[in-house]
Structure 1
């Protein structure tokens, strides 16, 4: 038998034997009656007796899932999935991992689920937008990117630099140039394009003062606009090595500079540390003009290509090139340095940990910490490089082959904002300290959790023009959720008034938000658990309180089906409360099907249906 066939047989055998048996009969009966708390105790007793059956583990996971104990559900699903399970189990495991803030692991389980049930709407939604959870690393989005209109259709365009109102970049679009073998494209030339006030770009034109029949570009320009540094080939300076065997003249990429006189670039000259033995390329001059950064594989490099710097003296001479050292350079390649006005160096690396290929990194030369990955969407799984930034116009540019060819993308900084939350007591109006405040995105993913200070305040840094949700929790108070609509300002204030728990207890009932259920489901949702926790709190502090739960369905389905469904929902609600330590003789439940609709409608909307499927709470004894 082949190895993979034997493995498949073992998996199938494992699933087959992991099923109901006489030992699980009592627990299964409780589970089938939706008495999950008692079922858990029975299943746990079996594990304590040495049973290690994936069927039991799955039932424990499902039981804890149905009473919204995500920590325990995660534990038992993990054990169950040591053997092959049905797709729904992988989905549920993904959800509890997400609830427990294990986003990366959740993503992996969702991918498995999507492979098993690719046509499932949940799988389709996940595959369309897999980034709704943080991926490999948690990096805040710093820029929005957009492909520029000046890119050619199928040739290389990269290394954009905006100086004043002119965008300079390198491109192989010139069909009149000879073709070089590396990419089977014409040699690179330097182009320029007018940058208009509305952000649009004019038709690119050749910078004929600098271009030759060899490669040219990218460029860097001094802050006064009178000196340009650019890459070209050493053939320009008659520097090359002859390979007699291959009958080739082997050149290098070298650095050159030119000065602007009467609107033209003249006095082109090579930099003194060029060589026919190694390359020097991709220049970036500091704002004060005293330091030139570049990439090279000259002797002293740590890896293949490294980032170097050299002093530019007032008399026009140069110091000795210095390697930026092991914090920046790796055994891989580092190239395309750009020194920003705030003394932050941006560069591309395939040696530092990234998303794949070359990634753009930043390195604060003043702090001298470790380089930071700039994150998505600047970086992708492909090569991303040649990042530059124009502070005056507040726009940057990055080059990437994420769509196949090297092309240029604008990089617009994400506008950051603050959400200030102020929490007060709804009854006394006093400020509340030590309130747990949770912020979620529009997809209900938890972004952060903080506690209010002595002034009842807490603030979060967010992206503006996006919707958020604020949830506030404090013992003795009713949980509250507030939606924060999209805003364009740099700051918005959210005021949350929490009702003391004693305000929700009336003579005849506990006034909670209705416990809503998903269509055709009876498991307790996250929102439902938050409401039921209020009930638990009240019952813990009022020992004589006895509650009757009334559960309802919407009008869809047959009367018998709805009666059964509402009964299951009542049991789920009761089981959740019991699982929190409330005695079973203090809470009971009954299903009323569709007999007491909140909204009596003939053609109900989804919102109206949702209002009808609920649980309510009556006080039957104090």
Structure 2
């Protein structure tokens, strides 16, 4: 959504260091007219002729940035910074890198930006919290999302609002519309679709009363359904500024109101604070109809685009627009406000710290109003915006270009449930405090880590419709893992009895499990490391303990290859133990290839092969 004129309905001029010349004149004119697709073609033609200095590369980066082709934008910005650029170029490059999930590289460019412009609020915020990503990832999942089937294949669809049983949204799918130069797409129209009882949506149709030959959408509707607010272009009111040099009529996006009479939208009127000098767009009317929230770059804005509000009086007149202030607005862009029935403000920002591009934030206007990133999967590394929620149907919508085009996703709140873990000593039955408890998803991704309290308990808020794994770790105890499958109750109680490591030491052997390896690999797995940590603990407690490691492969591959693979596995196993501080003269290893199969099978299953890929431990001296 870096293509701000399309989605934010606001012409955001990119300020660049001038290096125009006769060679770039044609491309520059297209760029200045916001015809970025055609400008790209001209700039690329120049590079084919050998003209690819920092100016041309930056212009290509900016052009791709504005149509949100992040891969090509990254490519040309990387070339542009080979020569010195202005601070904003480094900032945009950093944002593009973040959108491409290159966080380390993004941080490096943000450091350059912060050095060049240390007083900029974006630089200050970054330097305060450069390692922000783990905290964002740790946000509890609030919604499940699903792409709507009514999205067009390769055109923009966004800004969905469900009123009653009708879904309203903006789309450029109408091939009969004229094409505008920004993205070479048809102009936007307002569409509607019926919301069915089974949760499906009917075929979209145009809202003919509101659409013109210009951009329209998105919309907001009063609680009684009789008044609609929507965005459209100022050309509708003959409001525009003439640029004689560029031979352009520069319009803005403005807000309009219509009244429903006999089932039709009529009496379309512009709002009194519209202007040809600035944009007003993306309306959201409060449930009591007394406050209209919108986005604008009008005088008094903190950043490029801010969120504003205006009082709607009983007589239909309006108060003076008020900026929501620096708690919400930043030097970046904030837009697409949505005010819920319980006065939660949802909005999109690229100035607050997020995963990349625009993220959706929420703020409780009845409390401190501090914005909070609502986390994944609503937010992604791309642009996520236009979040709305229908409390009656318990369903929301968010727009995102995470798959390349702006599309609409259904957002369903996650059922709030809890996993309570209670950890005890298996021998004494005493509750164990300070146990590290890790929760993982079904793909073994670590979601969060906590420690048990004095009562041996720790809890996680979870989605009960998802499978989890709970791991418990404590020095001196055998690591344990428990699978927690989907559950129906509000709380799942997991009891874990940790076995003291001393209890697994027998007279002539150690009751350790073998460690297993992935196919054709010799690296120590997460589970293998936990088992080896037991061995390390025992060897630290028993200084006379000397261990031999026997490593094996499955029966696939040649004998010679398997001998070498098993030898590498033995070395990995031994090196892990030595890396934990055990002297090298107390542990040795040898590979046996496939000569000592645990399961000797002619046609082995994957499970049988896995059992054969192992390292075992033998006590040589005690």
Relative to the length of structure 1, the TM-score reads: 0.68
Aligned to 2:498: 498
SS in 1 for 2:444: coil
612-621 vs 439-448, which deviates more? 612-621
Indicate conservation of the 8 Å contact 1:508/1:618, yes or no: no
CA apart distance, 1:414 = 4.1
Alpha-carbon distance change, 362 to 428 in structure 1, aligned in 2, over 3 angstroms: same
Q: Please state how far the C-alpha of 1:510 moved relative to its aligned partner.
A: 0.9
**How is 1:46-125 mapped onto 2 (pairs within 5 angstroms)?**
none
Once the two structures are TM-superposed, the CA of residue 425 in structure 1 deviates from its matched residue by 2.4
Measured after TM superposition, the shift of residue 251 of structure 1 is 4.8
Q: Which residue of 2 aligns with 1:225?
A: 225
1:437 aligned residue: 437
| 1:507–1:619 Cα contact (<8 Å) kept | no
Matched residue, 1:208: 208
Distance between the aligned counterparts of 1:576 and 1:280, measured in 2?
A: 62
Q: 1:603 to 1:104 in 2, by over 3 A?
A: farther
Instruction: Write the distance in 2 (CA, Å) between the matches of 1:189 and 1:259.
Output: 18
Q: In structure 1, the residue corresponding to 2:137 is in which secondary structure?
A: coil
Between the aligned partners of 2:582 and 2:155, the Cα distance in structure 1 is 70
- Closer, same or farther in 2 for the Cα pair 1:190/1:556, shift >3 Å? closer
8 A contact 1:104–1:135 mirrored in 2? no
The answer to whether the Cα contact below 8 Å between 2:137 and 2:376 also exists between their aligned partners in 1 is: no
Say if 1:258 and 1:540 are closer, same or farther in 2 by CA, change over 3 A: same
Alpha carbons of 1:593 and 1:420: their partners in 2 closer, same or farther (altered >3 Å)?
Answer: same
Distance 1:501-1:189 versus aligned 2 partners, 3 A rule: closer
Superposition map of 1:193-592 within 5 A: 193-237=193-237, 239=239, 251-354=251-354, 357-368=357-368, 370-380=370-380, 382-487=382-487, 490-519=490-519, 524-543=524-543, 545=545, 547=547, 549-556=549-556, 573=573, 576-577=576-577, 580-582=580-582
1-structure distance, mates of 2:567, 2:147: 56
CA distance in 2, matches of 1:495, 1:446: 20
- Report the aligned-residue RMSD: 3.9
1:552·1:592 contact (CA, 8 Å) conserved in 2?
A: yes
In the alignment, the residues of structure 1 paired with residue 275 and residue 561 of structure 2 have an alpha-carbon distance, to the nearest angstrom, of 84
Contact (CA 8 Å) 1:260, 1:266: kept in 2 or not? yes
Determine if contact 2:138/2:447 at 8 Å carries over to the other structure.
Answer: no
Partner of 1:14: none
Three-state SS of the structure 2 residue aligned to 1:337 is strand
Measure how far apart 1:513 and its partner are. Answer: 0.9
Per-residue CA distance 1:498-548 (angstroms, 9 max, x = gap): 222233122321111113345566665443332233233334334555555
Report the CA distance shift for 1:282/1:620 in structure 2 as closer, same or farther (over 3 A): closer
Where 1:408 maps in the other structure, the secondary structure is strand
SS at match of 1:256: strand
* Equivalent in the alignment of 2:38: none
Q: Identify which range, 375-384 or 242-251, moves more after superposition.
A: 242-251
* Corresponding residue for residue 89 of structure 1: none
Q: Are the aligned partners of 1:509 and 1:617 in contact in 2 as well (CA < 8 Å)?
A: no
1:53-72 alpha-carbon deviations (Å, 9 max, x no partner): xxxxxxxxxxxxxxxxxxxx
- Structure 2 counterpart SS, 1:288: coil
Q: Give the Å deviation of 1:245.
A: 8.2
Unpaired stretches in structure 2, ≥5 consecutive residues = 1-101, 108-132
Question: Secondary structure of the equivalent of 1:298?
Answer: coil
SS in structure 2 of the partner of residue 168 of structure 1? strand
Give the C-alpha shift of residue 285 in structure 1. 0.7
**d(CA) in 2 for partners of 1:400, 1:369:** 25
Q: Which has the larger radius of gyration?
A: 1
Aligned to 2:515, the other structure's residue is in SS state: coil
Matched-pair contact (CA < 8 Å) for 1:220–1:228: yes
- 1:160 Cα deviation (Å)? 1.6
Cα distance in structure 2, aligned partners of 1:175 and 1:591 = 67
Secondary structure of residue in 1 paired with 2:458? strand
Q: CA deviation at 1:590?
A: 6.1
Following superposition, the deviation at residue 406 of structure 1 comes to 3.8
State the Cα deviation string for residues 319-356 of structure 1 (Å, max 9, x = none).
11111223333444433221123323222344445555
Q: Distance in 2 between matches of 1:444 and 1:217?
A: 42
1:451 positional shift: 1.9
- Relative to structure 1, the CA distance from residue 588 to residue 161 in structure 2 (aligned partners, 3 Å threshold; closer, same or farther) is closer
Between the aligned partners of 1:520 and 1:244, the Cα distance in structure 2 is 69
Determine helix, strand or coil for the equivalent of 1:472.
strand
2: CA distance, partners of 1:480 / 1:453? 18
Are residues 365 and 614 of structure 1, via their aligned partners in 2, closer, same or farther at CA, if it must alter by over 3 Å? same
SS at match of 2:309: strand
Change (3 A) 1:530 1:247: closer
Residue 284 of structure 1: how far off its partner (Å) = 0.6
Partner secondary structure for residue 151 of structure 2: coil
Q: TM-score with structure 2 length normalisation?
A: 0.68
Q: 1:508 to 1:201 in 2, by over 3 A?
A: same
Distance in structure 2 (CA, Å) of the matches to 1:284 and 1:311: 12
SS at match of 1:432: coil
What do residues 75-131 of structure 1 show as CA deviations (whole Å, max 9, x unaligned)? xxxxxxxxxxxxxxxxxxxxxxxxxxxx966999xxxxxxxxxxxxxxxxxxxxxxx
Deviations 1:302-333 (A, max 9, x none): 33432211112233332111112233334444
Tell me which residue corresponds to 2:53. Answer: none
Structure 2 SS opposite 1:527: helix
SS in structure 2 at match of 1:326: coil
Change (3 A) 1:156 1:547: closer
CA 371–610 in structure 1, closer or farther in 2 if over 3 Å, else same: same
Aligned residue for 1:328, secondary structure, equals coil
SS in 2 for 1:610: helix
* Equivalent residue, structure 2, for 1:120: none
- Report the alpha carbon displacement of residue 165 of structure 1 after superposing the two structures with TM: 0.6
Q: How far has the Cα of 1:368 moved from its partner?
A: 4.0
Instruction: State the partner residue of 1:138.
Output: 137
The runs of 5 or more residues in structure 1 that have no matched partner are 1-102, 109-133
